[in-house]
């Protein structure tokens, strides 16, 4: 495929021409703003990754079955998405987009949309059924920011945050609401987070059909000022059986969960080991919850409340404060469900100003810390 990095080579040429031969070095060569547009190939992307400080992706069309691979960006690169980014159709696992590097700035221009047109894959079966690409692997992003990205209709999971350190995601929109029709969208988790530290997700707007946030492992993670609609709520876990099973210091604050199966959920596997420590939910509003307002379970096994609650993954230092779910739970749902393996596997909980009503009382809560109650 013909390289479309026209401005890229132009800017590099100008930089080369401006310097004397002796000071033409890699720094000068990288002093370039490059724009890629239209159908792009791996060659033009690789060239831009090597030689541009700012890469603008303007209305690009990524060929079927390929990753838009920005996983090895040079330090301090800026990536700007402009117009509509599209992907061709192929049944494969993805990811459709991968970005990694240090001190990376990723932005969406006003009106820009990343549109993988997931409806082409949706069959109501998510991870099963036909092979569907995961969307965005935000892996190994260090000291980086992602601002104002708008993502529409992912085939399944939207954003995977893995191996990241000091990453701030601001004002991201993930709109998979079209997947509600005929229940075709499935496993469309918005943010899956693992083995990462110092992550902030601020001002996210999510319409999907699975977890809004799922933290499987990691340290110092904050989700704030968000809206989660249509999915499975603000989740820790499932924790257990992965390469890292420690969740430490996670805060969900000032957010609304609506039209969802769950509001707040912590799920650990009964037969595994690990630790869930220092998780806080504060200033959370719940509305129209069909299943569980608050569900904290040590007996998750791929499904909620399956089998005997275990003690191998203690939940310690859990705070729920100012949780407003008055009348939020459907009358067939449950307001608050807690299943702990023992009194020593759920310790140091703070439960203050938590009001979740509308649903039934669950009959099989176990070892519920005295500060809370199953209701
Ligand atoms: C690249 O674009 C940025 C932002 O538009 C600008 O600040 C910078 O000066 C540009 N650099 C070059 C080499 O043109
Ligand atoms: C980070 O990248 C920005 C450009 O986005 C640059 O101005 C700054 O110097 C870089 N910081 C470090 C520590 O490299
Ligand atoms: C975190 O990343 C930002 C860039 O997004 C940088 O300015 C800041 O210095 C980093 N903080 C630490 C503690 O490294
Ligand atoms: C899990 O990850 C945390 C940091 O996120 C780290 O401190 C801990 O050592 C890791 N544990 C294992 C078993 O790798
Ligand atoms: C809470 O989040 C909303 C956005 O959902 C924002 O408008 C508001 O400013 C936030 N409040 C605080 C105190 O940060
Ligand atoms: C209790 O939480 C509600 C939100 O659910 C909040 O409006 C109210 O101010 C809180 N009360 C106290 C005493 O903090």
Q: pLDDT for 210-245, tens place per residue?
A: 999 999 999 999 999 999 999 999 999 999 999 999
89-148 pLDDT, tens digit per residue, is 999 999 999 999 999 999 999 999 999 999 999 999 999 999 999 999 999 999 999 999
Tell me the Ramachandran region of residue 317: left when phi exceeds 0, alpha when psi lies from -120 to 50, beta otherwise: left
Give the nearest ligand 1 atom to 15 CA.
13
- How far apart are alpha carbons 134 and 136 in whole angstroms? 7
The crossing angle, in degrees rounded to 10, of helices 42-51 and 6-18 is 30
* Ligand lying closest to the C-alpha of residue 204: 5
| Four-CA torsion 159, 165, 170, 176, nearest 10 degrees | 10
183-198 pLDDT, tens digit per residue, is 999 999 999 999 999 9
Reported confidence tier of residue 30, pLDDT bands at 50, 70, 90: low
DSSP code, position 280: E
Q: Which of 44-53, 192-201, 225-234, 251-260 has the lowest mean pLDDT?
A: 44-53
pTM metric for this prediction: 0.93
- The reply to whether omega before 287 is within 30° of 0 (cis) is no
Determine which helix (DSSP H) or strand (DSSP E) holds 191, and give its type and residue range: strand 191-194
Average pLDDT over residues 277-291: 98
Cβ contact 119:184 at 8 Å: yes
- Structural domain boundaries of the chain? 1-60, 61-356
Q: Which residue's C-alpha comes closest to atom 6 of ligand 6?
A: 322
The residue that leads in pLDDT, 28 or 143, is 143
Ligand 5 neighbours by CB, cut-off 6 Å: 225, 227, 254
pLDDT of residue 20: 26
78 CB near ligand 2 (under 6 Å):
yes
Reported confidence tier of residue 2, pLDDT bands at 50, 70, 90: very low
311 CB near ligand 3 (under 6 Å):
no
Instruction: Decide if 306 is catalytic.
Output: no
Tell how far the Cα of 353 is from the centroid of ligand 6, in angstroms. Answer: 6
Q: Which residues of 206-215 are buried (b: 16+ CB within 10 A; e: fewer)?
A: bbbbbbbbbb
pLDDT of residue 29: 53
Q: Which of 44-48, 103-107, 293-297 has the lowest mean pLDDT?
A: 44-48
Give the nearest ligand 6 atom to 353 CA.
1
Cβ contact 226:203 at 8 Å: yes
Looking at the predicted structure, is the pLDDT value of residue 23 above 90?
no
Cβ contact 174:159 at 8 Å: yes
CATH of domain 61-356: 2.160.20.10
């Amino acid at each position: 495929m013909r390289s479309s990095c026209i401005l890229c080579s132009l800017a590099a040429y100008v930089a080369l021409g401006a310097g004397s031969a002796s000071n033409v070095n890699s720094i000068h060569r990288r002093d370039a703003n490059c724009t890629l547009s239209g159908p792009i190939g791996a060659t033009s992307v690789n060239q831009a990754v090597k030689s541009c400080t700012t890469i603008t992706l303007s209305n690009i069309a990524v060929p079927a079955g390929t990753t838009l691979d920005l996983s090895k960006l040079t330090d301090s690169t800026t990536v700007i998405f402009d117009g509509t980014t599209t992907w061709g159709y192929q049944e494969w696992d993805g990811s459709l987009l991968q970005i990694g590097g240090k001190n990376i700035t990723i932005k969406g221009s006003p009106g820009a949309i990343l549109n993988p047109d997931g409806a082409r894959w949706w069959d109501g079966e998510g991870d099963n059924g036909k092979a569907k690409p995961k969307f965005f692997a935000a892996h190994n992003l260090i000291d980086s920011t992602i601002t104002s990205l708008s993502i529409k209709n992912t085939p399944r999971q939207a954003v995977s945050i893995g191996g990241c350190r000091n990453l701030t995601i601001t004002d991201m929109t993930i709109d998979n609401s079209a997947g509600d029709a005929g229940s075709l969208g499935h496993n469309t988790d918005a943010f899956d987070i693992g083995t990462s530290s110092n992550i902030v997700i601020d001002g996210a707007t999510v319409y999907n059909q699975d977890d809004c946030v799922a933290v499987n492992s990691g340290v110092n993670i904050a989700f704030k000022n968000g809206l989660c609609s249509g999915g499975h709520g603000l989740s820790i876990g499932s924790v257990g059986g992965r390469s890292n099973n420690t969740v430490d210091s996670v805060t969900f604050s000032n957010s609304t969960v609506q039209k969802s199966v769950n509001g707040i959920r912590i799920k650990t596997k009964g037969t595994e080991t690990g630790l869930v420590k220092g998780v806080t939910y504060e200033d959370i509003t719940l509305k129209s919850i069909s299943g569980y307002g608050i569900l904290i379970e040590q007996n998750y096994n791929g499904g909620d409340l399956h089998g005997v609650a275990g003690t191998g993954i203690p939940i310690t230092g859990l705070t729920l404060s100012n949780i407003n779910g008055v009348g939020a739970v459907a009358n067939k749902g449950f307001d608050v469900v807690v299943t702990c393996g023992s009194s020593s596997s759920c310790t140091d909980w703070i439960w203050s100003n938590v009001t979740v009503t509308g649903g039934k009382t669950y009959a099989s809560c176990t070892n519920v810390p005295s500060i809370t109650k199953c209701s």
